Every structure is written in structure tokens, then in C-alpha cells.
Amino acid sequence: MKIKIIKKINQQEKKNIIESWKKRYGSMSSLQHKVGLSKCSSPEDVNTYITWKYLASGAEMEETVTFVNADIFDVFSPKRGEILEYLANNEVSSIRELATKLRRNYKNVYDDLKALNKFELVELRVVGRALKPCSSASAVEVILEE
């Protein structure tokens, strides 16, 4: 059994991604220079450069996270599934707001988010002094196959 999390990147998210790279690397040309010097010694930099180059020229982007082992089942629970479903359809500004909306204890929601974040099922963005939980998935597929 495989579980596949699918995320289609929209225009705003593309802009945000590129902005974060500008902060980190300065510009695409400075990253290109860095990658040219280091060749294949940094897979992350090479992949970032390639992604940036094609995103800038208008490419569509999709991200998937797939689990092919049983570890993921330690992470999933009905309550955590509820969090994923809620975040996929609603926006919240903080963990506290999410806990209030779900009528759950803050600490339990925090712990669940941390566990989901470890496997990149949710993002926890720093906004001011709060952590803003965001869904990493637009779809979750369960695939029954070898």
C-alpha cells in the first residue's frame, strides 16, 4: 500500500517560493554561478536552480510526497485526518485558532501538527509570533498495489 500526498502549486505559491529563494540566494544568476562552481556537489542547489529557471519561464509545478512503508500509519489517526481535512479547505492564522475551530485542546493540536509536519503533511509558517499551520496537500491518494 502506498499513500500519496499531491500538491498543485498555484501562481501565488510560485511567487512565494521564488521570493524565498531570492532572500536565500540573492538572484537566479548568483545561484547559477554557485551551481556552476560546485557542479554536482550540492543536489539541493542544483535542483533549486533548475526549478527556479523553469518556474520563471512559466512551467506548471506539482509536488507529491509518497509513503511506501508502514511508518506513516503511526502518524495517521482520525483526529490528525480531521486536521488535514480542515486545513485543506480552510485557512487559519494560528494553531490556537485551529484548536478553537476544531474544539480541541491547544497542546494536543500542537502535538498533532508537529507529528504531521515531520512527514511534511502540513507546513508551519512563522507569521509574526505565531505559527500558521497550512495544508501541504490538495489531495491524498491511497494506492493498493505492490
Partner 1 sequence: MRILKQKVWVHKNEVVESLTVTEGGKVKFYSHTYMVKEGGRGWVPYVKWDNWDRQPHVDKYDSSGALVEQKHCPEKSAEEAIKLVKIFRKNLMTMDISQL
Contact residues for partner 1 (CB under 8 A)?
Answer: 39-41, 43, 46-47, 50-51, 54-55, 57-69, 71-72, 119-120
Cβ-contact 61, 15 below 8 angstroms: no
State the nearest-atom distance from the C-beta of 121 to partner 1, in Å: 11
Cβ-based nearer residue to partner 1, 61 or 88: 61
State the nearest-atom distance from the C-beta of 139 to partner 1, in Å: 14
| Rounded-to-integer distance, Cα 116 and Cα 110, Å | 10
Cβ-based nearer residue to partner 1, 54 or 106: 54
| Rounded-to-integer distance, Cα 144 and Cα 44, Å | 31
| Rounded-to-integer distance, Cα 118 and Cα 73, Å | 13
Cβ-based nearer residue to partner 1, 1 or 50: 50
**Cα angle: 59, vertex 65, 68; to 5 degrees:** 140
- Please list, in sequence order, all residues whose beta carbon lies within 8 angstroms of the beta carbon of residue 83, skipping any fewer than 6 positions away: 98, 102, 109, 112, 113, 116, 122, 133
Cβ-based nearer residue to partner 1, 110 or 119: 119
State the nearest-atom distance from the C-beta of 102 to partner 1, in Å: 26
State the nearest-atom distance from the C-beta of 21 to partner 1, in Å: 14
